[in-house]
Structure 1
Amino acid sequence: MKIEKTNEKLLWVPSPEFKDNSNMREFMIWLGKTRGLKFEEYHELWNWSVTDIEGFWSAIWDFFKIKSSKPYDEVISGGKMPDVKWFLGSSLNYAEHVFRNEDPENVAVIYESETRPLGELTWAELKKTTASIAQHLKSIGIKPGDRVVAYTPNIHETLSAFLACASIGAVWSSCAPEFGMKSVIDRFKQIEPKVLITVDGYKYGGKEYDRLELVKQIQAELPTLNETIIIPYLKDQPDMSGLKNATQWDKILKENARAQLTFEHVPFDHPLWILYSSGTTGKPKGIVQSQGGILIEHLKFLMLQSDLKKGDRFFWYTTTGWMMWNVVVGGLLTGASVVLYDGNPGYPNYETLWKFAESAKIATFGTSASFIMACVKAGVKPKEQFDLSHLKSIGSTGSPLPEKGFEWVYEHVKEDVWLFSTSGGTDVCSAFLGPCPLLPVYSGELQARALGADLKALNDNEEEVIEEIGELVIKKPMPSMPIYFWNDVDGKRYKESYFDVFPDVWRHGDFVKFTHRGSCIIYGRSDATINRGGIRMGTSEIYSALESIPEVDDSLIVDIPLDEERSYMPLFIVLKPGIELSNELKARINQTIRQNCSPRHVPDEIYSVNEVPKTLNGKKLEVPIKKILMGVPVEKAVNKGSLANPDSLNYFIQFKKES
């Protein structure tokens, strides 16, 4: 339902029909019938979900009819984070819950890439491929707990390979093929994989990238490999000479064409996959999440919060090196069809993915805040060019979405669409904050705290605050929290990562403000937040203010302490081609920050740079750059292998030398 804007910048309200048809409303009705629990509105439901966490998660188990070969003994044991166990005694399989949705002739996967035209896989085809790969893995001795790694893009073969691993209880881990040699080895070597699945190459931005020479180097660094499986993606017949123990994907499918898919039941906390921290200041940490924890969290988040339904087409632009790929895979748990795209989202222009949304008939279109803002700057107007009548919702994540991005969606994409911004992390492979189909959308705000996520904002006195910026913490455990970090035998690194500031309370590292309506605003990473004269400002607020200046393409700001009372705050900006950093432009930038943020957050100096250093997942390197400018040696401040553009560091290294 489209409504007129008010002073609160209310952009959209779900219609009564939209709410009544939502999975969330169905869950609330079910709770009334089966548990005698009556809730008038969402925030009452949320409060119960974090007060009675045993009752809530057992209800989720029953509502989604989790299949276990053994009944669980208790929902949660151990008490305090991180030393808790979930659904002890149960035995299940993630992939089995995916394929209980199979409808052989219906579409399970829709895909397109710069290499392949629009195509589809039915549930029957997906199951057959998964069965063939699973049978082959078992035939070469892969057992529950063994690691299988993939150096592959976001294509349907990757999806099938993951489901095959999950079906036999093997542990999955993936890197996108644009990751360089060091980044891949830093991740994969520590987990000692037995099988590597890889493409021969890929296409991005119209250019071809052969990867087989790099695969040979990766093989040499992974002595535990027993086999490498090659997916012909760039070429129909890739040159496999020089590769050790290499088998072609198509050969495996042919030899195992009659295989039947079976499911190895494993304990609830059996590892499902290994994700990785960004690794900006050292080797990436292997974050291990469980079959049961991810299963129950993704059912909750995707079906209740995101309202995915059987037959929906669910898309999120991602690579296999970002946890959103794992979330997309989870879409299959809901009975929805998942939609995959591999390629440069801005090639040949920023209309590409909107055209794809039309041709693939996408219902939920997920992307990043940076993509939406790139569309804003490029002047894209999708609703004038494409039929988006099937589009029900748009999701944004990766960084806070500025108000300008929210308003662009309603003005230039679709008036009656549910736009939800989310925030969570690789740490739980889900979102703590984000969508709720029962609530309105306010510009610049995330709708609500997710069910089961006991989030609070704490001020400097560790007091819970509303309508005030505070440190984001989680006070109760969630099933998809890491079961452990890889090779962290005593749990020291795990505890240091989340429980170093507040004992028994998960500190997430973001600054957040919860409104009196229950919505929230993310202000960026707390360790990069700028405190000037007692006024604390999230860097995202400054970046958001700069969005209104058309000459500025990107920006990075850091605050360098000089002594106990003074600091130096430079702003680094990337200008659009042909633009020079004039005194007039500097003055306009300063005035914009003064008016939209605070006079105390006007930068001390403004510098023009060619590019902002970013991780492979597109996040700005605020803290590592701050460390470099404070004199920390580069090798201790940042892991160059984790960067999408490592050469961008050279400017800041030289800047420090000359300062």
Structure 2
Amino acid sequence: MSDYESLWHWSVEHLEEFWAEVWQFFDIAPGSSYSAVLAEPTMPGAVWFPGARLNYVDQILRQAAGREHEPALVSLGEDGTRTQLTWGELVAQIGAVSAAMTRMGVRAGDRVVGYLPNVPAAVVAFLATAAIGAVWSACGPELRPGGAAARFAQLEPVLLIAADGYVFGGRLHDRREVVSELAAALPTLRHVVTVPVTGLPSSGTRWTDLLTGNETVRPTPVPFDHPLWIVYSSGTTGLPKGLVHGHGGVLITALAQSGLQGDVRPGDRGMSYTSTSWIMWNGTVNGLLSGATAVLYDGNPMYPSVDRLWQMAAEQRLSGLGVSPGYLLACEKAEVHPATEHDLSALRGIGVTGSPVPARSYRWIVEEFGPSLPLRAFSGGTEFSAALVGGAPWLPVYEREMSCRSLGCHVEAWDEAGHAVTDEIGEMVIRSPMPSMPLRIWGDDDGHRYRETYFAHYPGVWRHGDWLTITSRGTAIIHGRSDSTLNRNGVRMGSGDIYQAVEALPEVAEALVLGVERPDGGYWMPLFVQLTDGATLDEELIGRIRSAVREHASPLHVPDDVLCAPAIPHTVTGKKLEVPIKRIIQGVPAEQACTISAVDDPEALRWFADLAARRRAG
């Protein structure tokens, strides 16, 4: 094969050969065999590597062998504190905690949930859970108890591991009462373990109680598709979707993406700014599978100064740093000069995800670092625990473009008729199965929600929910979400959480929230409210609306503007027109954004079109 594009085509046109080569190259599950690579190629319902038995944690133990005194985890705090776990210490803690969980009665298939910041205890708790074949799920403690309970209660967990609090922007957030409230909302719990992140006094079982044993970790062999973790991709209505990923699918895809696509090597040091609520946290842990040191940061990325991440990258000699497009814009506006103000000579690449990266950020990186340090934008996400489009070390980088489609990821841009298009904007689809594709949505026993969410638009083909262009040279451009999921600084959540908080106020009859990607790379998140009779949208009400979102939904998704709309338009079946109105705000004519005759109140829709026109006119 003469070039990367030829290799990519082979990898998706010969799926079984490609994934068999990956299995062999990384010597996955030595001693275990499988009867077929892809026994059932349909979507949904693909069956990979039947007969194989393995455990995600086995690969961690293989990387630790002979490197017991080298760092596996490095943890950094806002105040500059630094702790580390060597590979030997990591393995010992996994053994102690998994044994403690077993004594608590946790068994394979049980759910263990974490309400934890990005600290070593979260990594150890996940790996200990996986080692015994139990299923892990987590979210950050910044999420309000109602939002956490909406995710965890579905799972009927038997064990909750929760932090006593967290620190953000120099402020300590006490979470002890919140944890008690969360535990009360989870009636299936048998045990609650407190992790002393802040050192506040607490009662009951503490994390240190689980670390007292010296048991040897012996991961339980499980089938390839045995559930590993449940991560959440919030839709616009209903409960957050709990996406179930399997041990084998995550393992083989992570090795292909880090060890091949990303050239991650044993001894590398990688850090992405993330929280445990986001799939990027899982991706950071996946770096351990390739022998890299995972550097964890718990705190504000711009505290006490905007260049905090660059400072840590220099101090820790990072080879890879993951940031959001918003962080790069903030650094540029603050006139930060990372390459001249810090020693970043160890850095081999900057990964950027969470939203489309504007051209100015590509130029800024070149201006600051020169052409030798690539900015590798990538996109994929929670559903696949993988980068579907991104980069590779040997490919050139173009402004606004991702250099390639990832190996084994059959990504195309389709028009409404289901035809692949090149150099045109289309719906991002996945034509062929992937090992890390979700096994199912938790609680969706008949698979109806799974099929309706991802396969209803193009039967048998995964519709991802992004606008995508595949260029004639094989690069990819993401233009933003084609659905209505809110995505601020890479942290996604459904609009339903916002509505639940805001519409509880007596003055608000109905609300509509949008996440609008701007041409300059910015992100505008307006909240439109239809008020009850006699109510007025004054500063006092706006303040209470913002407080409601902050306290009952997410402090990361407080709207930029609160605007009074005469009415909220719906389809004739009663669904809010989130996506069409977002497109209207972005400049699409109303008659192209939706079918006017299918709107319950066309005059309300015209109000949004007039607003968009006034905004464009300044």
Alpha-carbon spacing, 1:428–1:558, altered in 2? closer, same or farther (3 Å)? same
C-alpha displacement of 1:418: 2.0
Alpha-carbon spacing, 1:433–1:620, altered in 2? closer, same or farther (3 Å)? farther
Contact 1:456 1:472 in 2 (8 A): yes
CA distance in 1, matches of 2:227, 2:341: 45
Alpha-carbon spacing, 1:507–1:41, altered in 2? closer, same or farther (3 Å)? same
Q: Determine the structure 1 residue equivalent to 2:132.
A: 168
Could you say what secondary structure the match of 1:507 adopts? strand
Q: Determine the structure 2 residue equivalent to 1:297.
A: 253
Which residues in structure 2 correspond to 1:167-566 (within 5 Å)?
167-235=131-199, 238-240=201-203, 246-254=204-212, 256=213, 258-413=214-369, 415-527=371-483, 543-545=518-520, 554-556=523-525
Contact 2:353 2:378 in 1 (8 A): yes
C-alpha displacement of 1:347: 1.4
Q: Determine the structure 2 residue equivalent to 1:124.
A: 88
Q: Which amino acid aligns with 1:555?
A: W
**1:592-642 alpha-carbon deviations (Å, 9 max, x no partner):** xxxxxxxxxxxxxxxxx999x8985968999x9999842589x97699xxx
Q: Which amino acid aligns with 2:431?
A: K
Could you say what secondary structure the match of 2:518 adopts? helix
Contact 1:61 1:296 in 2 (8 A): yes
CA distance in 2, matches of 1:437, 1:540: 32
Q: Where in structure 1 do 4 or more consecutive aligned residues deviate above 3 Å? A: 539-542, 556-559, 613-622, 624-629, 635-639
Contact 1:155 1:341 in 2 (8 A): yes
**1:553-575 alpha-carbon deviations (Å, 9 max, x no partner):** 7525899xxxxxxxxxxxxxxxx
C-alpha displacement of 1:415: 4.2
Q: Determine the structure 2 residue equivalent to 1:74.
A: 36
Mark the runs of 5 or more structure 1 residues left unpaired by the alignment: 1-38, 241-245, 530-538, 548-552, 560-608, 640-651
C-alpha displacement of 1:483: 0.5
CA distance in 2, matches of 1:149, 1:527: 28
Alpha-carbon spacing, 1:211–1:542, altered in 2? closer, same or farther (3 Å)? closer
Q: Which amino acid aligns with 2:427?
A: E
**1:239-275 alpha-carbon deviations (Å, 9 max, x no partner):** 22xxxxx311112212x1x211111000000000000
CA distance in 2, matches of 1:496, 1:184: 25
Contact 2:144 2:554 in 1 (8 A): no
Alpha-carbon spacing, 1:528–1:269, altered in 2? closer, same or farther (3 Å)? closer
Contact 1:281 1:636 in 2 (8 A): no
**1:124-152 alpha-carbon deviations (Å, 9 max, x no partner):** 11111111101100111111101000000
C-alpha displacement of 1:278: 2.1
CA distance in 2, matches of 1:554, 1:166: 37
CA distance in 1, matches of 2:372, 2:39: 44
Contact 2:43 2:433 in 1 (8 A): yes
Could you say what secondary structure the match of 2:37 adopts? strand
Alpha-carbon spacing, 1:542–1:252, altered in 2? closer, same or farther (3 Å)? closer
Q: Which amino acid aligns with 2:569?
A: M
Could you say what secondary structure the match of 2:130 adopts? helix
C-alpha displacement of 1:372: 1.4
Could you say what secondary structure the match of 2:457 adopts? coil
Contact 1:150 1:173 in 2 (8 A): yes
CA distance in 2, matches of 1:335, 1:485: 31
C-alpha displacement of 1:509: 1.0
Contact 1:74 1:88 in 2 (8 A): yes
**1:354-402 alpha-carbon deviations (Å, 9 max, x no partner):** 1111111110001111211222222221112111011111000010111
Q: Is 1:93 aligned with 2:55?
A: yes
User: Which residue among 111, 121, 124 is the counterpart of 1:157?
Assistant: 121
Could you say what secondary structure the match of 2:519 adopts? helix
Could you say what secondary structure the match of 1:404 adopts? helix
Contact 1:200 1:212 in 2 (8 A): yes
Q: Which amino acid aligns with 1:247?
A: T
Q: Determine the structure 1 residue equivalent to 2:569.
A: 630
**1:527-546 alpha-carbon deviations (Å, 9 max, x no partner):** 469xxxxxxxxx9996133x
CA distance in 2, matches of 1:112, 1:96: 27
Q: Which amino acid aligns with 2:128?
A: A
Could you say what secondary structure the match of 2:193 adopts? strand
Contact 1:511 1:523 in 2 (8 A): yes
Could you say what secondary structure the match of 1:55 adopts? helix
CA distance in 2, matches of 1:542, 1:189: 33
Contact 2:269 2:295 in 1 (8 A): yes
Contact 1:628 1:637 in 2 (8 A): no
Alpha-carbon spacing, 1:350–1:492, altered in 2? closer, same or farther (3 Å)? same
CA distance in 2, matches of 1:415, 1:332: 29
Could you say what secondary structure the match of 2:63 adopts? coil
Alpha-carbon spacing, 1:412–1:610, altered in 2? closer, same or farther (3 Å)? farther
**1:1-43 alpha-carbon deviations (Å, 9 max, x no partner):** xxxxxxxxxxxxxxxxxxxxxxxxxxxxxxxxxxxxxx22111
Contact 2:526 2:559 in 1 (8 A): no
Contact 1:321 1:617 in 2 (8 A): no
* Alignment RMSD: 3.1
C-alpha displacement of 1:219: 1.2
Contact 2:515 2:526 in 1 (8 A): no
CA distance in 1, matches of 2:566, 2:242: 24
Contact 1:69 1:92 in 2 (8 A): no
CA distance in 1, matches of 2:399, 2:17: 34
Contact 2:571 2:577 in 1 (8 A): no
State the identity %.
40
CA distance in 1, matches of 2:100, 2:567: 48
TM-score by length of 2: 0.81
Alpha-carbon spacing, 1:368–1:471, altered in 2? closer, same or farther (3 Å)? same
Alpha-carbon spacing, 1:283–1:617, altered in 2? closer, same or farther (3 Å)? farther
> Could you tell which deviates more after superposition, 520-529 or 478-487?
520-529
Q: Determine the structure 1 residue equivalent to 2:584.
A: none
Could you say what secondary structure the match of 2:201 adopts? coil
Contact 1:523 1:540 in 2 (8 A): no
Contact 2:142 2:555 in 1 (8 A): no
CA distance in 1, matches of 2:555, 2:429: 23
**1:468-510 alpha-carbon deviations (Å, 9 max, x no partner):** 1111111100010110111111100000111011110001111
Could you say what secondary structure the match of 2:276 adopts? coil
Q: Determine the structure 1 residue equivalent to 2:14.
A: 52
Q: Determine the structure 1 residue equivalent to 2:76.
A: 112
Q: Determine the structure 1 residue equivalent to 2:5.
A: 43
CA distance in 2, matches of 1:185, 1:632: 30
Contact 2:427 2:468 in 1 (8 A): yes
C-alpha displacement of 1:462: 2.1
CA distance in 2, matches of 1:636, 1:284: 18
C-alpha displacement of 1:279: 4.2
CA distance in 1, matches of 2:517, 2:95: 51
CA distance in 2, matches of 1:69, 1:171: 24
Alpha-carbon spacing, 1:418–1:616, altered in 2? closer, same or farther (3 Å)? farther
What is the count of residue pairs matched by the alignment? 532
Alpha-carbon spacing, 1:444–1:627, altered in 2? closer, same or farther (3 Å)? farther
CA distance in 2, matches of 1:426, 1:224: 26
